[in-house]
Amino acid sequence: AAIHLEDYQPAPYHIDTVDLDIHLAPTATQVKATLAIRRRDGVAPGTPLWLNGDETAFTGLAVNGQGLEESAYTANERELVIHTPPAEPFTLEVRTWVNPEANTQLSGLYRSSGNYCTQCEAEGFRRITYFLDRPDVLSVYTTRIEGPKADTQVLLGNGNPVESGDIPGTDRHYAIWHDPHPKPSYLFAMVAGNLAHVSDSFVTSSGRKVDLKIYVEPGKEDRCDWAMDSLKRSMKWDEDVFGCEYDLDVFNIVAVSDFNMGAMENKGLNIFNDKYVLADPETATDQDYANIEAVIAHEYFHNWTGNRITCRDWFQLCLKEGLTVFRDQEFSSDMRSRAVKRISDVRLLRSHQFPEDAGPLAHPVRPRQYTEINNFYTATVYEKGAEVVRMLKTLLGDDGFRKGMDLYFQRHDGDATTIEAFLACFSEATSTDLGQFARWYEQAGTPLVTVKSQFDATAQELTLDITQSIAPLPGQATSQPAVIPIRFGLIGQDGADVTASRITGAEVRGDVLLLTKASQKVTFHGLEHRPVLSLLRGFSAPVRLEAHQNLADLTFLARHDSDPFNRWQAVQTLATQELIRLTHEAHKKGSLEVDDRLVEIFGTILSDQGLDPAFKALALDLPGEADIAREIGKNVDPDAIHAARMAFRSAIGAAHLAAFHALLADAPQEGTFSPDAASAGKRALAAQALGYFADAGTPAAPDKVWHAFQQANNMTDRIGALTLLVHRNLPRAEQALADFRSRHSDNSLAMDKWFTVQATTPAKDGLERVKALTAHPLFDMTNPNRMRSLIQAFATGNHVQFARKDGEGFAFIADCVMTLDPRNPQVAARLLTCFRSWRSLEGERSKHAEKALLRISAMEKLSRDCRDIVDRCLQ
């Protein structure tokens, strides 16, 4: 049954304190929870107390120290109900037991590599003990953990350590942790095991010394340096930029190798998928380093945006996630190149969020209903949610935004609150009406903004006819115009921005035009010559823009726009248009002759000495196959897209062979590796050069790639070369795979990459290869990272093979979903979302996709997680 936003009711009871006593054992952990419960004002005495459970095993209870008659309560796997609780505040003691070993869902208390850990967001705490497991019930937690000394040398909980010691006469010991900050149950965590750690410390702006520790499996300590460095930089940055200071004596991070998502912001005890902690040059790519920095920051920033101020209910998830993603994006922008970060973030938004927003899984940033909340940890809530916060900043300016944030922290510290309350802070702090802006939280779908421009030389006016609209979506037939901030520039013939004497037809704030109507006419006055229009600079709103600019104007923008994002965008727009044309040619088996003028634009970029290498690498990268598919939108033929893209790449490679060759010759042969952004940018550019060199089809290419593979002294270069060897089916590809495997077989994060390279190869027998790899001794369907490295990488990163005409790709993924579902429904449901764009495929392929979905839908005992996704996909 669906849960609806408008049905929200506060809980009838408060739980002021939670005292947990946890006796660890692999298959029978005993949990005693002592809850101080108090009736909320206005609630009738005797109102039943209803607590959530989920496969929870009840072993006993007491109210104010007394047992209850069996008829006085109901206890089963799903709930504990006290029919007539005392009218006055009382303590409820509940005993349950948990089997961590058998917990394959990785929600609640489970074991990973022999260590105990927890994941409680969104609804995992109820799998440990019965509780009002909802984010608006805030309690002060004290956790006592007891375990055998041999297996659980380390015992960690939320908050500060209070006490620890041996249990006399036994082989067991205990530790007590106390978290003074009231928090919802989803932020509870505990960890126990034989873990090694690295330590450091940080002194906050008000002088609090915080002990920082990162716990990992023994032997991995030397791979924590980057994560620790990122943590300290995050702590400093949050003080400097948002005035947010840390509030406990310790901050602990634990890396585990079995984790459903990326990481979790539990108060004072963040738990991470180890792929977002562990790094060294041998095994981590530049992208891995950047991801670690971003995820460490993200989880740390949650301490204020998520923990100190949390969500009233799960509909408000974007209150913490969108905001925290925005904060981590800003952090990375300050640590690295802002332009490069912005382009990468927009690429991610377009490749993950736009398709979600255009298909059956579309939902508003703040959804109004859900059946399984875990399916709403989506690109829309996270990434589009961050874009909405960014627009708020664009709209209100840096100062206005900071004032709003300050008010939010001041007014809502300690609250479980809502998007309305968040927006009210910005509205009040800046005296701005944000009523229409709020639609960004309420409407699904990506607005399409169209612009047609006309220059009147006599009147010296440039007039724009602008429209905005959202295509109909399931459950959203119509939509209302949103406030769309369009950052713009007018560029004169010499490449410098010019200004209009006056702008009419829309409100303008600085260089931002505010669109507020379904259609409006905007006029720029006092322009002697027709300027070239640069719209949506910095991607100032998460929209699709159709600006109807011609080749000459786009080429001009690619050369001259002072806004780096739009310079990059101009190249992308040109390339996309050409790729769509080539795709249609490929589909009807026509000629794949690439337009020279487009090939030349890449030459201009290559030879521009003023461009940052990282930017250049991004500009040289053609839109991906999924991007092209999304732009085409219907009757998609992935084979034609692939052929078109390869033809374009070969043409660029062949035309600029000398330039790519020169780039490769200059590529830094650094002695010591450094993961900083500038070095990473150089490596990214060298990788592009190598790729184009390979695709130019010269006889020297295979040796060159093989050589690059052998010479690589870091993972970025090695995996780049390996990918080319395998994906282009070059000689010695198999030998390179074998080399890589023997070099890295004991490092699972590196081996994940080995699986992914093969999963994403576009070869005709790509699917057969993936199937064969499922029988590989190192493949393990039960480890989420390993599953994703092969199966999900295939489904999301191998368009041609997943969407094969014979339907075998879909059938295979359907089988995997059905195998996974009974074991780990969250991970299975996530995999299943790869079907979300099935209706946009050409006839036969979409029929096969539908068949695969129907087969899943017919499965007996399908989880609620997968049921929800499959139903929405088929609706």
Contact residues toward Zn ion (CB under 5 A) are: 321, 324
679: left (phi over 0), alpha (psi -120 to 50) or beta: alpha
Contacts for 632 with CB less than 8 Å, ≥ 6 apart: 580, 583, 641, 840
702: left (phi over 0), alpha (psi -120 to 50) or beta: alpha
Total binding residues toward ligand ARG, as defined by CB under 6 A: 13
Query: Among 238, 288, 299, 821, which residue sits at the site for ligand ARG (rule: CB under 6 A)?
Result: 299
Query: Considering beta carbons, is residue 388 or 535 the nearer one to Zn ion?
Result: 388
Longest dimension (CA), the chain: 98
Query: Among 21, 54, 133, 265, which residue sits at the site for ligand ARG (rule: CB under 6 A)?
Result: 265
Give the integer Cα–Cα distance in Å for 825 and 831.
10
Query: Considering beta carbons, is residue 840 or 863 the nearer one to ligand ARG?
Result: 863
Query: Considering beta carbons, is residue 383 or 621 the nearer one to ligand ARG?
Result: 383
- In the complex, the smallest distance separating the C-beta of residue 159 from ligand ARG, rounded to whole angstroms, is 18
Query: Considering beta carbons, is residue 121 or 621 the nearer one to ligand ARG?
Result: 121
Q: Which stretch binds ligand ARG (CB under 6 A): 37-45, 217-225, 257-265, 804-812?
A: 257-265
Query: Among 110, 304, 377, 794, which residue sits at the site for ligand ARG (rule: CB under 6 A)?
Result: 377
Q: Chain-centre distance of CA 578, in angstroms?
A: 30
Half-sphere exposure of 693 (CA within 13 A, CB side): 27
Is residue 259 close enough to count as binding ligand ARG by CB under 6 A?
no
Neighbours of 439 (CB within 10 A): 16
Is residue 374 close enough to count as binding ligand ARG by CB under 6 A?
yes
- In the complex, the smallest distance separating the C-beta of residue 329 from Zn ion, rounded to whole angstroms, is 12
- In the complex, the smallest distance separating the C-beta of residue 652 from ligand ARG, rounded to whole angstroms, is 38
- In the complex, the smallest distance separating the C-beta of residue 596 from ligand ARG, rounded to whole angstroms, is 47
Is residue 313 close enough to count as binding ligand ARG by CB under 6 A?
no
Instruction: Tell me which of ligand ARG, Zn ion, none is bound by residue 260, counting a contact when its beta carbon lies within the kind-specific cut-off of 5 to 8 angstroms.
Output: ligand ARG
What is the DSSP code string of 287-340?
HHHHHHHHHHHHHHHTTTBTTTBEESSGGGHHHHHHHHHHHHHHHHHHHS-HHH
Query: Considering beta carbons, is residue 537 or 788 the nearer one to ligand ARG?
Result: 788
Give the integer Cα–Cα distance in Å for 842 and 858.
24
Instruction: Tell me which of ligand ARG, Zn ion, none is bound by residue 264, counting a contact when its beta carbon lies within the kind-specific cut-off of 5 to 8 angstroms.
Output: ligand ARG
Query: Considering beta carbons, is residue 107 or 573 the nearer one to Zn ion?
Result: 107
Dihedrals φ, ψ of 304, to 5°? -95, -45
Query: Considering beta carbons, is residue 21 or 372 the nearer one to ligand ARG?
Result: 372
Q: Which stretch binds ligand ARG (CB under 6 A): 130-138, 205-213, 261-269, 459-467?
A: 261-269
Q: Which stretch binds ligand ARG (CB under 6 A): 255-263, 596-604, 665-673, 846-854?
A: 255-263
Please say if 299 is a catalytic residue.
yes
Give the integer Cα–Cα distance in Å for 394 and 406.
17
Contact string (CB under 6 A) for ligand ARG, positions 321-350, x = contact: x-----------------------------
62: left (phi over 0), alpha (psi -120 to 50) or beta: beta
Of 588, 730, 94, 6, nearest to 315 (Cα)?
A: 6
- In the complex, the smallest distance separating the C-beta of residue 149 from ligand ARG, rounded to whole angstroms, is 31
Of 551, 639, 622, 634, nearest to 588 (Cα)?
A: 639
The structure tokens listed for 456 are 């009147």
CA–CA distance from 308 to each of 67, 176, 410, 411, 781 (Å)? Answer: 36, 22, 11, 11, 37
Half-sphere exposure of 239 (CA within 13 A, CB side): 15
Q: Which stretch binds ligand ARG (CB under 6 A): 63-71, 174-182, 240-248, 260-268?
A: 260-268
Q: Which of 123, 293, 299, 383 is catalytic?
A: 299
- Which helix (DSSP H) or strand (DSSP E) does residue 79 occupy? strand 79-82
Query: Considering beta carbons, is residue 299 or 627 the nearer one to ligand ARG?
Result: 299
Instruction: Tell me which of ligand ARG, Zn ion, none is bound by residue 599, counting a contact when its beta carbon lies within the kind-specific cut-off of 5 to 8 angstroms.
Output: none
The burial of 432, by beta-carbon neighbours within 10 Å (0-12 exposed, 13-18 middle, 19 or more buried), is given as middle
3-state secondary structure of 350: helix
CA–CA distance from 69 to each of 31, 60, 63, 66, 89 (Å)? Answer: 21, 11, 11, 10, 20
- In the complex, the smallest distance separating the C-beta of residue 592 from Zn ion, rounded to whole angstroms, is 44
- In the complex, the smallest distance separating the C-beta of residue 261 from ligand ARG, rounded to whole angstroms, is 4
Tally of helices (H runs) and strands (E runs) in the chain? 29, 33
Is residue 372 close enough to count as binding ligand ARG by CB under 6 A?
no
Instruction: Tell me which of ligand ARG, Zn ion, none is bound by residue 263, counting a contact when its beta carbon lies within the kind-specific cut-off of 5 to 8 angstroms.
Output: ligand ARG
- In the complex, the smallest distance separating the C-beta of residue 269 from Zn ion, rounded to whole angstroms, is 15
Query: Among 15, 122, 636, 856, which residue sits at the site for ligand ARG (rule: CB under 6 A)?
Result: 122
Q: Chain-centre distance of CA 436, in angstroms?
A: 27
Residues forming contacts to ligand ARG in the complex (CB under 6 A) are: 121-122, 260-261, 263-265, 298-299, 321, 374, 377, 826
List residues with catalytic annotation.
299
